[in-house]
A and B are shown apart, each in its own frame.
Chain A
């Protein structure tokens, strides 16, 4: 008797799961799945706008063929968008470093934490474009780059004396020069890392202290494994932000194609991007999940 009652309760609870996700599920079907499938059909058609509707002319794989053989700017832009993924390790390391600093106790900590979120507010929209096209702002940052470049060249010499080959040196120098961009892209990641650092029980460190662990050991044995789930979240977020964010070169090209009313072609382009990007993200996750320890769950 009790058993059946419990079972029916479980059944009811199961049904409530659907109730809770119902609005989203409806939206997913109506506003995502159906439009997505429609877009796939667009990609095989030449789409023209008529009054209140669209006229489709089947062109087979012509849109895809054009993408890879005729369009000279697609593949370079596409590579550029993938190449930007190189920034990921640097963004992650920098935001982790800043998060550790902001997690310590000091005067003005709340304010400091607030400041590092500002890039998210300012750089997700038109302000970024305005600053990018401002000749005076470019002049100011240009000057800075000029002086810092002088430093970088000496740093470059130093690195090559240390025995690093040119490719590696150029890579390091370039990464340093991009510090501005990296800090601007780390807002959300810093917050996520701080939230992770906060959730580590204080007792872990106390035990470590009693056992006589050094700070170095504490970091690698406690801090790092504890935030490794956050590492996954941040890598995912950063990838999405770089590939689909507001400054992604590929998305700008996609928008231009849509503004020039070539919907079929734009759909083909977006689909190719989606498939490759999803594959890249899945691959990175497969590789990472081998190394990441899950303390939670």
Chain B
């Protein structure tokens, strides 16, 4: 009697949990659809013959598959040259930013010095100031530094890298914050053991902390490289001759309007719109590939690094 009751309630419980899994699957698929919708749209359209855009029967599945759009986009974006420079600038700046922000975050987290809280508030405040407001004076200062030292800086990657190495890259304040939270939650015993062994704080940082902070470094690396990849404002100010992908993609529309296709005819508005999608796909592809490689570890790192307020 008693046994029968038990199995009934446990069966109810199982039924409940199955119902919830189905419900959860529906919710997640629905929400994921909102996210994936755009990327699928970009991929589908970029391999579609432009005439099909007008065909109302074609929504998702393309009938005539073509790579012409992608070829045009590669040609008019000067894709390979731009890609190389964009990758170089994003990767180098991201690495420099990781190091400088980790240093600052560690300093704020572990050492008690005069003015620590005020300076940390300043680091957060840099996030609230539109970059545009400091960019022009920065530019003038770089021009002056160029005149004073004789080293050419404008239109080279130097200003971008200098900003990154001094913790003033894109959204540095956020990264300093993330590092500080992470280091604050690390057990103090880690460094104390190193100090007893006679390490200086600097040596302890590289030997002990660095190896134990991989997850937060990965999080910051991914976020930072995504923002550098997408950035066009800073790079157009300091390194416009690089023609990074973010700028060539934006200019693609007007470049296409001025150019002619393989048959010597101007591009129609439809063709232009389709080739723009191919350009967008080419722009996103490298960073999406990088993300898909790192994704598993990245999401794992997010949960490991427990960013506690």
B 126-157 to A, binary, CB cutoff 8 A, 1 in contact else 0: 11111011111110110100010000000000
The answer to whether B299 and A34 have CB atoms under 8 Å apart is no
Contacts of B232 on A, CB cut-off 8 Å? 125-126
The answer to whether A115 and B111 have CB atoms under 8 Å apart is no
A-to-B contact residues, CB < 8 Å: 13-28, 30-32, 34-36, 38-39, 42, 52-54, 98, 101-102, 104, 106, 110, 112-122, 124-127, 129-131, 134-137, 140, 179-180, 183-184, 188, 191-192, 194-196, 198-199, 228-233, 237, 240, 244, 246, 251, 254-255, 258, 263, 266-267, 270-271, 273-274, 277-278, 281, 294, 296
CB distance from B77 to the nearest CB of A (A): 11
Please pick, from A19, A52, A134, the residue contacting B273 in the complex, using a CB distance under 8 A.
A134
Give A24 to B126 CA distance when docked, in angstroms: 12
Contacts of A196 on B, CB cut-off 8 Å? 306-308
Q: Can you offer 7 A-B residue contacts whose CB atoms are under 8 A?
A: A32-B126, A112-B28, A127-B42, A130-B279, A137-B41, A231-B309, A240-B128
The answer to whether A192 and B307 have CB atoms under 8 Å apart is yes
The answer to whether B287 and A121 have CB atoms under 8 Å apart is yes
The answer to whether B309 and A20 have CB atoms under 8 Å apart is no
Give A281 to B162 CA distance when docked, in angstroms: 30
Give A54 to B162 CA distance when docked, in angstroms: 23
Interface centre among B32, B136, B229 (most CB of A within 10 A): B136
Does residue B68 face the partner (Cβ distance < 8 Å to A)? Answer: no
Please pick, from A98, A233, A255, the residue contacting B309 in the complex, using a CB distance under 8 A.
A233
Give A137 to B141 CA distance when docked, in angstroms: 43
Contacts of A180 on B, CB cut-off 8 Å? 34
Contacts of A32 on B, CB cut-off 8 Å? 126, 129, 134, 168
The answer to whether A229 and B32 have CB atoms under 8 Å apart is no
Does residue B62 face the partner (Cβ distance < 8 Å to A)? Answer: no
B-to-A contact residues, CB < 8 Å: 21, 24-25, 27-28, 31-32, 34-36, 38-39, 41-42, 45, 53, 59, 100-101, 103-104, 106-108, 110-114, 116, 119, 122-123, 125-130, 132-138, 140-141, 143, 147, 162-163, 165-168, 172, 174, 176, 185, 200-202, 205, 223, 226-227, 229-233, 246, 249-250, 269, 273, 276-277, 279-280, 283-284, 287-288, 291-292, 295-296, 298-300, 302-309
Contacts of A198 on B, CB cut-off 8 Å? 303-304, 306
Please pick, from B104, B229, B307, the residue contacting A230 in the complex, using a CB distance under 8 A.
B307
The answer to whether A126 and B283 have CB atoms under 8 Å apart is yes
Give A119 to B246 CA distance when docked, in angstroms: 17
| Given A118-B35, A195-B303, A278-B125, A273-B130 contact (CB < 8 Å) | yes
Q: What 19 new A-B contacts, CB under 8 Å, besides A122-B38, A296-B309? A: A20-B107, A21-B119, A24-B103, A24-B172, A27-B163, A53-B140, A119-B35, A121-B230, A121-B287, A124-B230, A125-B231, A127-B284, A131-B38, A135-B273, A229-B308, A230-B309, A254-B130, A255-B233, A258-B132
Contacts of A102 on B, CB cut-off 8 Å? 28
The answer to whether A183 and B34 have CB atoms under 8 Å apart is yes
Residue of A nearest to B181 (CB): A233
Residue of B nearest to A9 (CB): B195
The answer to whether B100 and A24 have CB atoms under 8 Å apart is yes
The answer to whether A195 and B302 have CB atoms under 8 Å apart is yes
The answer to whether A129 and B250 have CB atoms under 8 Å apart is yes
Residue of A nearest to B251 (CB): A126
Is the contact region of chain B dominated by helix, strand, or loop, or is it mixed? helix
| Given A20-B107, A126-B283, A130-B249, A28-B133 contact (CB < 8 Å) | no
The answer to whether B133 and A271 have CB atoms under 8 Å apart is yes
| Given A16-B201, A17-B111, A233-B288 contact (CB < 8 Å) | no
Contacts of A39 on B, CB cut-off 8 Å? 133-134, 136-137
CB distance from B216 to the nearest CB of A (A): 10
The answer to whether A110 and B134 have CB atoms under 8 Å apart is no
The answer to whether B305 and A18 have CB atoms under 8 Å apart is no
The answer to whether B309 and A13 have CB atoms under 8 Å apart is no
The answer to whether A124 and B226 have CB atoms under 8 Å apart is yes
Give A122 to B229 CA distance when docked, in angstroms: 10
Give A294 to B249 CA distance when docked, in angstroms: 46
CB distance from A227 to the nearest CB of B (A): 9
Contacts of A125 on B, CB cut-off 8 Å? 229-232, 246
The answer to whether B133 and A270 have CB atoms under 8 Å apart is yes
The answer to whether B138 and A35 have CB atoms under 8 Å apart is yes
Contacts of A27 on B, CB cut-off 8 Å? 100, 163, 165-168
- Shortest 8 CB-CB contacts between residues of A and residues of B: A27-B166, A229-B309, A125-B230, A17-B111, A20-B107, A24-B167, A35-B137, A17-B113
The answer to whether A52 and B288 have CB atoms under 8 Å apart is no
Please pick, from B45, B134, B174, B226, the residue contacting A31 in the complex, using a CB distance under 8 A.
B134
The answer to whether B284 and A121 have CB atoms under 8 Å apart is yes
Please pick, from B25, B35, B101, B128, the residue contacting A274 in the complex, using a CB distance under 8 A.
B128
Please pick, from A38, A101, A130, A195, the residue contacting B306 in the complex, using a CB distance under 8 A.
A195
Give A126 to B230 CA distance when docked, in angstroms: 7
The answer to whether B104 and A20 have CB atoms under 8 Å apart is yes
The answer to whether B134 and A36 have CB atoms under 8 Å apart is yes
The answer to whether A34 and B137 have CB atoms under 8 Å apart is yes
Interface centre among B229, B295, B299 (most CB of A within 10 A): B299
CB distance from A96 to the nearest CB of B (A): 13
Give A229 to B307 CA distance when docked, in angstroms: 9
CB distance from A58 to the nearest CB of B (A): 17
